[in-house]
Amino acid sequence: MSAAPAGSAALFAPYTLRSVTLPNRVWMAAMCQYSAEAFGPNAGVADDWHFAHYAARAVGGTGLIIQEATAVSPEGRITPYDLGIWNDTQVEALRRITSFLKARGTVPGIQIAHAGRKASTDRTWKGGGPVGPEAHGWLPVAPSAVPFDGDRPAPHELTADEIGEIVGQFAAAAERALAAGYEIVEIHGAHGYLIGEFLSPFSNKRTDAYGGSFENRTRLAVEVVDAVRAVWPEELPLFFRISATDWLEEDGWTADETVRLAGLLQEHGVDLLDVSTGGLAPRVEIPVGPGYQVPFAARVKAETSLPVAAVGLIIEPAHAEKILANGEADAVLLGRELLRDPYWARRAAAELGAEPRTPDQYHRSW
């Protein structure tokens, strides 16, 4: 992979966390593909679609690719078609992806996740509704027996012992992620999935040590971070994805709590907060527009010493550059824009006067 000094563009300056140096600040957010087999010996195993999908963005110059929400257990999948990392067969298939990304100069990351009460649904392009055993579904679990929506079954309320088992599943997933060749692990605490469900009083109605106060509602998040950090090498970074607000007028998780949690997570070994919003409750009014979530990342950066990445309809290179130049975030994470254009990083480099990372095989495009 040929490369040149990044020049003055902040977006193309290298960034180091622990022992890992990322070649630029153009990062790919985790986005589910819902394309693995649903059952049998290859359930949750990455296939040619996943390889081609991630390889294209690496060839396109993306500095970090965070693999889609990858379930720590079969019951932790959003859909039966999610990737998983609960067995060694899945690890073998993922090594093919991480090896290619590293060879292209892209850092491979993985988001490990449990869907909680939003589990056992159909693929989004088929409506995303709940699926039962006849379609390889199962009964979801949650902090409380409160369904996500009226068409969803009431989830099973987790016992304290079952919560401990899930914490162990996150740790085992991190160990497998290391064996698969990932250099960054991101814990998914956003978008109304299990950890986020514990954080928010809207979905967490518990009266034990995991409910009620801020300390209790954040207990699972901290326990998962501690368990993962205990098995994840000291020299490798750990990310945490958060929904900075539920966008609810009352009884929701708030931006104030996000800032408070950021400091706590940093104390427990988190290296960067991936700041998103929403996802906990359906039909919530959100003021969507270019960069609409950036202020939440900027606030965490301003009020803590924890590095942050910003997301949320960041489309134009000049906008991404401005976010970094203004000190609102340390990196930008692109989602849908990288689905539309796998070569976004190359286009951005050209627009900002930096030389793109280009494979030698593509030298004719220089």
Rounded alpha-carbon distances, angstroms, from residue 332 to 26, 69, 142, 310, 312: 6, 18, 31, 5, 9
Give the pLDDT of residue 5. Answer: 40
Contact status, residue 343 vs residue 60, Cβ threshold 8 Å: yes
| DSSP label at residue 329 | -
Find residue 16's DSSP bridge partners. 21
Give the pLDDT of residue 2. Answer: 35
What is d(CA 289, CA 215) in angstroms, rounded to the nearest whole number? 33
Rounded to the nearest 5 degrees, what angle is found at the Cα of 276, between the Cα atoms of 275 and 279? 145
What is the tens place of the pLDDT at every residue in 75-109? Answer: 999 999 999 999 999 999 999 999 999 999 999 99
Which residues have a Cβ under 8 Å from the Cβ of 87 and sit 6 or more positions away? 44
What is d(CA 355, CA 332) in angstroms, rounded to the nearest whole number? 19
**Checking DSSP bridges between strand 141-142 and strand 20-22, what pairing results, if any?**
unpaired
Give the pLDDT of residue 364. Answer: 83
Give the pLDDT of residue 296. Answer: 98
Q: Catalytic residue numbers? A: 193
Give the pLDDT of residue 366. Answer: 67
Which residues have a Cβ under 8 Å from the Cβ of 362 and sit 6 or more positions away? 59
Low-confidence ranges of the chain (pLDDT < 50): 1-7
Its CATH class, for the domain covering 26-341, is: alpha beta
Residue 256 Ramachandran class (φ > 0 left, ψ -120 to 50 alpha, else beta): alpha
Instruction: Give domain limits for the chain.
Output: 26-341
- The encoded tokens of residue 346 equal 């190359």
